[in-house]
Amino acid sequence: MIRFFLLFMLHISLFSATVETFNWPNGETYLTFLEKHNLPTKTLFYNIDKDDQKQAEEILTGVHYQILKNEKTGEIEQVLIPLNDELQIHLYEDNGYKFEIIPIISKTKTEAFTLKIQNSPYYDIYKATSSYKIAKIFISAFKKSLNFKTDIRKGDTLVMIYQQKYRLGQPFSMPKLETAMIEMRKKKHFIYLNSDDRYYDEKGTQVEEFLLALPVRGARISSYFTKRRWHPILHKWKAHLGIDYAARRGTPIHAAASGIVISKRYSNSYGNITIIKHKDGYSTRYAHQKAFKRGLYVGKHVKRGQIIGYVGTTGRSTGPHLHFELRKYGRAINPLRVVQVATKKLRGKKRRAFLKLKKKYDKAIFAELEKASKYKKCGKNDSVCYLNMENIND
């Protein structure tokens, strides 16, 4: 089945098919997408696996997707829609339309640039890169330790070194900041991504303070977070964007962090689900509950550790457990990387390993300062490209 999707990368002169790239619009669902393009909803939605239907609900607003059309007839021959960093929906015509979920082929590059502040870090990074994502990761990394509103001055320097994924030759997914430096009032401030996936300053003190409590105390983890897993029985790609905590029916569920309840409802797939919004773009989801805690309502502020519901098996569930998700700006991330409470300051072997990593990062930052390298914009592919399908073999 994977044989078709690499064709989207080809650009040749004999035209018989066109590929167009679009942004997924706000509020559109996978089902409405099928209806809008006159694709068979029964074959491509209602008859597919329930788990695949659930994964199709994960399409994020703004993601780039591709449609390949026959140039002569205008009929859709293939569609690629990313679900996350690892998997994508592939629709294709082969004696009728078919649905599958396949891996995303991407390249990861380490990129870096230096710039002088003229207005503000966010505005100047966005102006130089045309990427709000790159600007966001810089501001998010420093905002707990620095005050950009009062301490920044025109002419101050910043350096960013980060990883960026590329899909079909274009930036894809959220970049990952490795290290950065900003000069404020002639003093340099650094931040480093450590091997534990947390950020630390030059003294080895953790600067990311959003830590979660366990939502079900003493429970057994029955399923881990993964964006890309080949199911050995079903023989298809699946994503499990959360942690399953197996526990007895009726076991209390605790809010993993303080926040505001933004949803409390029943969903066919999640069953009884509560969604809590937290600071800094985080949100948590608690699914398959037997019942909600009495007195819980949308708009209510809950504290970390407060009981919000009880373990059950509502929705698509094979046994009593809590399906727990953590998201940042709508994007699912592994809760176990945040749930485990880390020490605020590194010591012993961990500190020595960090200092070794810091030395490597510092060398890279000062090399960028010396070069004063500017951001290199990726050459944009045309929104329409052409493929010759006549010589394609199955």
Residue 118 is part of which domain span? Answer: 107-208+343-371
Which letter, b or e, does each residue of 143-163 get, where b requires 16 or more Cβ atoms within 10 Å of its Cβ?
eeebebeeebeeebebbbbbe
63 in Cβ contact with 82 (< 8 Å): yes
Task: Please determine, for residue 142, whether its predicted confidence score (pLDDT) is greater than 60.
Answer: yes
- pLDDT for 73 equals 86
Residue 103, beta-bridge partner list:
87
Which pLDDT band, with edges at 50, 70 and 90, does 285 fall under? very high
Spatial separation of the C-alpha atoms in residues 65 and 107, rounded to whole Å: 17
116 and 201 belong to one structural domain = yes
From 20-34, 97-111, 217-231, 270-284, the region with the lowest mean pLDDT: 217-231
Which letter, b or e, does each residue of 164-178 get, where b requires 16 or more Cβ atoms within 10 Å of its Cβ?
bbebbeebbbbbebb
Here the tokens at position 70 are: 């026959």
Structure confidence by residue, pLDDT tens digits, 94-103: 899 999 998 9
- What lies within 8 Å, CB to CB, of 250 at 6+ separation is 290, 310, 311, 312
Residue where a domain terminates, one of 339, 357, 385: 339
87 and 163 belong to one structural domain = no
Spatial separation of the C-alpha atoms in residues 259 and 2, rounded to whole Å: 42
* Domain presence at residue 252: yes
Task: Please determine, for residue 5, whether its predicted confidence score (pLDDT) is greater than 90.
Answer: no
Spatial separation of the C-alpha atoms in residues 180 and 193, rounded to whole Å: 9
Here the tokens at position 80 are: 């690629």
Here the tokens at position 54 are: 């659930």
Spatial separation of the C-alpha atoms in residues 285 and 265, rounded to whole Å: 11
CATH number of the domain where residue 37 is located: 3.10.450.350
Spatial separation of the C-alpha atoms in residues 95 and 70, rounded to whole Å: 15
Structure confidence by residue, pLDDT tens digits, 368-392: 999 988 988 765 554 443 333 333 3
237 and 334 belong to one structural domain = yes
Q: Model-level pTM?
A: 0.67
Residue where a domain terminates, one of 105, 127, 143: 105
204 and 250 belong to one structural domain = no
Alpha helices by DSSP H, 46-155: 50-56, 121-129, 132-142, 148-151
What is the signed CA dihedral for 325, 56, 30, 324, rounded to 10 degrees?
Answer: -10
- What lies within 8 Å, CB to CB, of 349 at 6+ separation is none
* Domain presence at residue 392: no
* Domain presence at residue 363: yes
- pLDDT for 240 equals 83
330 and 187 belong to one structural domain = no
Residue 312: DSSP 8-state: B
Crossing angle of helices 121-129 and 132-142, rounded to 10°: 150
132 and 169 belong to one structural domain = yes
* Domain presence at residue 164: yes
Helix or strand run (H / E) with residue 208:
none
50 and 90 belong to one structural domain = yes
35 and 94 belong to one structural domain = yes
119 and 266 belong to one structural domain = no
Domain count, the chain: 3
* Residue 40: Cβ within 10 Å count: 14
Spatial separation of the C-alpha atoms in residues 83 and 29, rounded to whole Å: 12
Structure confidence by residue, pLDDT tens digits, 17-71: 688 899 999 889 999 999 999 999 999 999 998 878 888 887 888 889 999 998 8
CATH number of the domain where residue 267 is located: 2.70.70.10
Structure confidence by residue, pLDDT tens digits, 300-328: 999 888 999 999 999 888 899 999 999 98
Here the tokens at position 5 are: 């999707």
* Domain presence at residue 64: yes
- Print the SS3 string covering 110-132: EEEEEEECCCCHHHHHHHHHCCH
Residue 254, beta-bridge partner list:
307
90 in Cβ contact with 101 (< 8 Å): yes
303 in Cβ contact with 255 (< 8 Å): yes
Spatial separation of the C-alpha atoms in residues 52 and 59, rounded to whole Å: 12
101 and 111 belong to one structural domain = no
* Domain presence at residue 307: yes
Residue where a domain terminates, one of 83, 105, 127: 105
Residue 261, beta-bridge partner list:
276
* Domain presence at residue 382: no
281 and 291 belong to one structural domain = yes
Residue 270: DSSP 8-state: T
Here the tokens at position 63 are: 């993601």
- pLDDT for 289 equals 97
* Domain presence at residue 303: yes
134 and 122 belong to one structural domain = yes
